[in-house]
Chain A
Amino acid sequence: ETGVTQSPTHLIKTRGQQVTLRCSSQSGHNTVSWYQQALGQGPQFIFQYYREEENGRGNFPPRFSGLQFPNYSSELNVNALELDDSALYLCASSRTSSLYNEQFFGPGTRLTVL
């Protein structure tokens, strides 16, 4: 069983640019959540996708957007990058959207904004 994978592993962008991060969910999972983990902090929920629809959003501005595809893989897009967007971006998949289902995390994408 293949786990959650993310690409790229590292990325360097400059302020004002746009970035797309990708996530492949674990086999059999239809729900993907994205989290931002700043250095020295716990992960913060960005949003969740369930069966290709956004299913909950945290306190992030609209320049953070996402997609989920029919195969349940997902993209996180960030427009107009700011220095504070530098962080580890984690993708997590789960068997379905529920309060108690385990979320399986990928290794993350480290984004640096200069």
Chain B
Amino acid sequence: AQSVTQLGSHVSVSEGALVLLRCNYSSSVPPYLFWYVQYPNQGLQLLLKYTSAATLVKGINGFEAEFKKSETSFHLTKPSAHMSDAAEYFCAVSAGGTSYGKLTFGQGTILTVHP
């Protein structure tokens, strides 16, 4: 079975500072990994996904993530935070087997950006 752990339920940064949101996964097979963002009272929007091509994945809004198999990690980064980045971020892994197509999500990390 697959699982995702997001370290830190809340992360606070200053505008212009580095954003680092941590995600570790557990999977018995090569995983497909995703980062989604959720703004208040909205659904989820895909930021980026890893599908076994390049280990450094670039997404929308200046975000990127690096797949590290040895560390079973897929941390999300952005060099310079913007006020509009304040939202909740979810890391997810795609499962196979009897739950084919299922996304397993982490608990989420709320990002606060201070002026």
A residues bordering B, Cβ < 8 Å? 4, 31, 33, 35, 40-45, 48, 50, 55-58, 90, 92, 94, 97-100, 102-108
Determine the distance from Cα of A104 to Cα of B106 in the docked complex, in whole angstroms. Answer: 18
Within 8 A of A (CB), among B19-54: 32, 34, 36, 41-46, 49, 51
Q: Please list 6 pairs of residues, one from A and one from B, whose beta carbons are closer than 8 Å in the complex, sorted by A's number.
A: A42-B107, A45-B102, A56-B98, A90-B43, A92-B44, A108-B43
Number of interface residues of B (CB under 8 A): 28
Could you list 15 further interchain pairs (A-B, Cβ under 8 angstroms) beyond the known A41-B107, A90-B43?
A33-B101, A33-B103, A42-B4, A45-B104, A55-B101, A56-B100, A58-B99, A92-B43, A92-B44, A102-B46, A102-B49, A105-B43, A107-B41, A108-B42, A108-B43
When C-beta atoms are compared, the residue in chain A nearest to B98 turns out to be: A56
